[in-house]
Amino acid sequence: MLSDKTIEIVKSTAPLLALAGTVVTEHFYNRLFSHNPELQDIFNMANQRSGRQQFALFNALAAYAQNIDNLAVLKEALARINHKHTSMHILPEHYPIVGGHLIGTLKELIPEQFTAEVEYAWREAYALLADICITEEAALYEHSKNNHGGWSGTRAFVIAKKQPESELVTSFTLVPVDGKAVMTHKPGQYLGIKVKPAYAQYSEIRQYSISQQSNGENYRISVKKELLPAAGIVSNYLHSLDVGSVVELYPPAGDFFLRANKKPVVLISAGVGQTPMLAMLQTLLCDTSNQAVTYLHACENILQHSFSQFLAEQAAAHTRLNYYTWFNQGGEGAEFTGLMNVSAVAEQLPLEEGDFYICGPTGFMAAIKQQLLVLGVAAERIHYEVFGPHQDL
Ligand SMILES: Cc1cc2nc3c(=O)[nH]c(=O)nc-3n(C[C@H](O)[C@H](O)[C@H](O)COP(=O)(O)OP(=O)(O)OC[C@H]3O[C@@H](n4cnc5c(N)ncnc54)[C@H](O)[C@@H]3O)c2cc1C
Ligand code: HEM
């Protein structure tokens, strides 16, 4: 429990973090990586260069400080962070390191405002947040370890199949080297994958959504080769691997998954954002409840249209599946040309009761969310996943 005094100080000094800006975040990460260079094997250094992750941590801390007397409002955001942390095996001993550099940064950069009293309050508040995270993450680790087919830390998987799905996306079927079962994942969840390309300076961890329903034996991920503005380290490395190569996986994680409420479902994706949708779609179509499903997908053109054959087969086999495609550049193989506009199919959407799942670039997701809100879909029925540090749409 925090004292009233601590709560008051932390709330009143929260703007220090909210206004932190790049000077403070850069100082913090420089300090972190120079004192604890081993953490460069955990953090995505490309996200560091773009600053995306830098702001994610400070924004989360600022939100915590602002809501320190009503932590319930942070439940969803914290759950998302905890899942992401477990996909990289963040451990209790990492928390004091991050906390120490945070306090050190504020002391060094804003000594007038960051008095001894303020420092004491922040140390207490950070310890409480760290405790909450450590407890939640311990529960997730326990679940993964004790589940049938589960494990803890990394586990070696061999690439058993490599299947090109389109110009840029290739699927990899990953089978555990130990030949044992793999734990069930919720449709929509992702895996943390850890690799060390010979040419890379550090080990690299990335998340990839599992692009098939659970089968107890293997996982499939489908990876877009990132070419612009610079070749992405892990995606290009994975594309270069042959069948028989071994990668290391952390257990499935993620809080973006299909709700088990039997309501009509609309799965909306752009580009490689359809990976979690495929796991959801397969799961829904195997279910006997006859739930209605609408699958809306957007991509550039027919060459970039992944899983087109699978989707056409599913639509032909299941009358309860409505499936529409948008090609930005037009051409054969899609019902619509240009950017996706869901109002074109609004009459067929379960606007009043359905759950809407969105995945794709953030600009795409923001536009679709706005369209759905205008059509009257309640915000709490719109769920989305960002393929990077979370952003509010
Ligand atoms: C929950 C989740 C699920 C995901 N699921 C999938 C999935 O199913 N399939 C999938 O393909 N991806 C998925 N991703 C994205 C994936 O984790 C990686 O982020 C992606 O593959 C890029 O990683 P990379 O190592 O190839 O690129 P990185 O090296 O991390 O680079 C990231 C981006 O930065 C750019 N970049 C790199 N260096 C520079 C530089 N010096 N200056 C400017 N820009 C630069 C690259 O072009 C690239 O676009 C998911 C992400 C999350 C968080
Ligand atoms: C209470 C303290 C912490 C808070 C509030 C916090 C917050 C966050 C947030 C908001 C994200 C982005 C989540 C998303 O993807 O949406 C994140 C990601 C991450 N966190 Fe933490 N974190 C904390 C502690 C730690 C610690 C102790 C470590 C380990 C040293 C750590 C390592 C990471 C890494 C590696 C990522 C992913 C970054 C990337 O890939 O760029 N965090 N954290």
CA distance readout (Å), 364 to 256, 311, 336: 17, 21, 16
Q: Looking at residue 286, what DSSP letter applies?
A: H
- Dihedral over alpha carbons 175, 179, 180, 186 (to 10 degrees): 0
- Confidence at residue 110, expressed as pLDDT on a 0 to 100 scale: 86
Furthest-apart CA atoms within the chain: distance in Å:
68
| b/e burial code for range 285-320 (CB count within 10 A of at least 16 → b) | eeeeeebbbbbbbbbbbbebbbbbeebeebeeeeee
Ligand 2 center to 390 CA (angstroms):
11
- Residues 323-345 pLDDT 10s: 999 999 999 999 999 999 999 99
Question: Alpha-carbon distance 98 to 105, whole Å?
Answer: 11
Q: Pick the closest to residue 88 from 389, 383, 358 (CA basis).
A: 389
Q: Whose CA is nearest to atom 18 of ligand 1?
A: 206
Angle, alpha carbons 52-280-316 (nearest 5°):
130
CB within 8 A of 151, min separation 6: which ones? 144, 145, 183, 251
Question: Alpha-carbon distance 147 to 183, whole Å?
Answer: 6
Ligand 2 center to 383 CA (angstroms):
21
Q: Pick the closest to residue 106 from 131, 132, 126 (CA basis).
A: 126
| b/e burial code for range 5-36 (CB count within 10 A of at least 16 → b) | ebbebbbebbebbeebeeebbebbbebbbeee
* 324 close to 337: Cβ distance less than 8 angstroms: no
The binding-site residues of ligand 2, defined as CB within 6 angstroms of any ligand atom, are 39, 42-44, 47, 53, 56-57, 60-61, 80-81, 84-85, 88, 90, 94-95, 98, 129-130, 133, 389-390
Q: Pick the closest to residue 194 from 204, 182, 186, 184 (CA basis).
A: 204
How many Cβ atoms from other residues are within 10 Å of residue 116's Cβ? 8
Residue type, 139: A
- Name the pTM for this structure: 0.96
Question: Alpha-carbon distance 384 to 307, whole Å?
Answer: 21
**How is 303-372 classified by DSSP, letter by letter?**
GG-TTHHHHHHHHHH-TTEEEEEEETT--TT-SEESS--GGGGGGGS-TTT-EEEEES-HHHHHHHHHHH
Q: Looking at residue 226, what DSSP letter applies?
A: -
* 249 close to 177: Cβ distance less than 8 angstroms: no
* 99 close to 127: Cβ distance less than 8 angstroms: yes
How many Cβ atoms from other residues are within 10 Å of residue 190's Cβ? 28
Q: Pick the closest to residue 273 from 215, 328, 208 (CA basis).
A: 208
Ligand 2 center to 98 CA (angstroms):
9
Residue ranges for the chain with pLDDT beneath 70: 18-20, 47-53
Q: Is 362 exposed, middle or buried (0-12, 13-18, 19+ CB in 10 A)?
A: middle
The binding-site residues of ligand 1, defined as CB within 6 angstroms of any ligand atom, are 44, 46, 49, 190, 206-209, 221-224, 226, 228-230, 232-236, 254, 272, 275, 385, 387-388
Q: Which atom of ligand 1 is nearest to the CA of 235?
A: 26
Q: Which atom of ligand 1 is nearest to the CA of 221?
A: 8
Which sequence positions are flagged as catalytic?
Answer: 95, 137
What are residue 224's DSSP bridge partners?
169
Query: Which listed ligand is nearest to 170 at the C-alpha?
Result: 1
- Confidence at residue 56, expressed as pLDDT on a 0 to 100 scale: 83
Question: Alpha-carbon distance 221 to 48, whole Å?
Answer: 24
Mutate to test the pocket of ligand 2, among 55, 81, 255 (most ligand atoms within 8 A of CB): 81
User: What would the two tokens of residue 136 be?
Assistant: 């939640």
**Domains of the chain (ranges plus CATH)?**
4-146 (1.10.490.10), 155-253 (2.40.30.10), 265-385 (3.40.50.80)
Ligand 1 center to 226 CA (angstroms):
7
- Confidence at residue 48, expressed as pLDDT on a 0 to 100 scale: 66
